[in-house]
Amino acid sequence: MPASLIIPASLRRPGIIGALTLLAMLAVLASLAFGSSRLSAGQVWDTLFHSGSAPEDLHAIIFGVRIPRTILGVIVGVCLGVAGTLMQGHTRNPLADPGIFGVSAGAGLAVVIGVFVFGVTGNAFTVVFAVVGALIASVAVFGITAAGSEPASPVPMALAGAAVSALLDALTSFIVLADRDALEAYRLWVVGSLSGRPTGVAVAVLPFAAAGLLLAVLNTRALDNLSLGTEMARGLGENVLVARVVGLAAITLLTAAATAAAGPVGFVGLVVPHLARPLVGAGHRWLLPASALLGISLVLGADVVGRMIGGTGEVQVGIVLAVLGGPFFVAVARRRSLAAL
């Protein structure tokens, strides 16, 4: 369906971005208010802005649990939303997901190696290992691709990413089946969750996320040119190889930050770009901020749903997104009009 039939002609892109900002703010408020202890908007407001007079239990819930969890959800949503948009833009594949570069698989293997080889058990060290593993996996994918005749082509990158992911997953399975401590650490990390993460994890991954977002902004013009085709982009004076490298670096940093912080959270990078394009069009100047805002809403919304349906416990955000994203993936795959971007 054309975007003009979905959105009134009088609603401009800045207005849409404003509406998405409001939606993201509502998701943040819901993340602060809903959980095993449901709070009203008034209670949240009073605790945030009059913390001195707030009951001790409310103060502990808001500042000790929900604010750190919400901040982590915002970072993960922004990183995966933008990374997914970059990934689909560079590969021109509507089914592309940031995990295609082996980032999640690399992070998972590094966490397991940290436990199995170095005996790492602290959460802070786990984050470091996950980030390093994600970066090494992406460099390996690009190195394999660069050995070919057309290093700037997205197709070899996708194939190399799938091969590296399969290899790293096999190595991870071999290690966790041989070592109980590694299995326990991997089991707690691999599900994809915003809960139970160390207090300083958001601070630890923030530099990687900020660097990735900066590279994504710098890659915006190149992505718009590449959408016209490689030859046309070269004709417009674009250095295709540099554009691919910058895009790969941005995807790697963003996905590594999100994966290190919350574990492998799937389908956000796949779903968000398809939700954003009908709203703001294919121009990445508007598509990137729209994807970031929708990523926040999707991750926090799924986290709230997981808290509400879990009864006394909760369903992890990675599981909720897998349940929601699976049918979406099938629907996208069946639409012939999305065979290429």
Output the CA–CA distances (angstroms, integers) from residue 185 to 27, 119, 261, 265, 316, in the order listed: 30, 11, 14, 17, 16
Residue 43 has a pLDDT of 72
Measured between alpha carbons, how far is 220 from 206 in angstroms, rounded to an integer?
Answer: 21
Q: Is residue 190, in this structure, part of any structural domain at all?
A: yes
224 in any annotated domain:
yes
Q: How many domains does the chain have?
A: 1
Burial of 99 (C-beta count, 10 Å sphere; 0-12/13-18/19+)? buried
Whether residue 167 lies inside any domain: the answer is: yes
Nearest Cα to Cα of residue 288 among 230, 234, 218: 218
In this prediction the pTM is 0.85
Q: Does residue 1 form part of some domain? A: no
Supply the DSSP string of 71-120, one letter for each residue: HHHHHHHHHHHHHHHHHHHHHT-TT--GGGGTHHHHHHHHHHHHHHTT--
Residue 251 lies in domain: 6-338
Tell me the C-alpha distance between 273 and 259, whole Å: 19
Q: Looking at residue 303, which CATH number applies to its domain?
A: 1.10.3470.10
Neighbours of 326 (CB within 10 A): 12
**Residue in the structure block whose two tokens are 């997914």:** 84
Q: Is residue 201 part of a domain?
A: yes
pLDDT at 80: 94
pLDDT for residue 17: 93
Sign (positive/negative) of CA torsion 284, 287, 293, 299? negative
Listed in sequence order, the residues at least 6 apart from 34 whose beta carbon sits closer than 8 Å to its beta carbon are 304, 307, 308
Q: How far is CA 56 from the centre of its chain?
A: 34
Reported as a single tens digit per residue, the pLDDT across 238-296 is 888 888 889 888 988 898 889 888 888 888 988 999 999 999 988 899 999 999 999 99
Identify the burial level of 7 via C-beta atoms within 10 angstroms of its C-beta, where 0-12 means exposed, 13-18 middle and 19 or more buried.
Answer: middle
Task: Give the other-Cβ count within 10 Å of 12's Cβ.
Answer: 12
Asked, for residue 14, whether it belongs to a domain, the answer is yes
Sequence-distant (6+) residues with CB within 8 A of 90 are: 154, 157, 223, 226, 244, 247, 248, 251
**330: Cβ–Cβ under 8 A, 6 or more apart, which residues?**
none
Number of H helices, E strands in the chain: 16, 0
Residue 212 domain flag = yes
Tens of pLDDT, residue by residue, the chain (341 residues) = 454 445 553 457 889 999 999 999 999 999 988 876 777 667 776 677 766 666 667 767 787 788 889 999 999 999 999 999 998 888 777 877 877 778 888 888 888 888 788 877 666 677 778 888 888 887 888 777 665 545 445 567 777 888 888 899 899 888 888 877 777 767 767 778 888 777 778 888 899 899 999 999 999 999 988 888 778 888 888 888 888 889 888 988 898 889 888 888 888 988 999 999 999 988 899 999 999 999 999 999 999 988 888 655 678 888 888 888 778 777 766 664 444 45
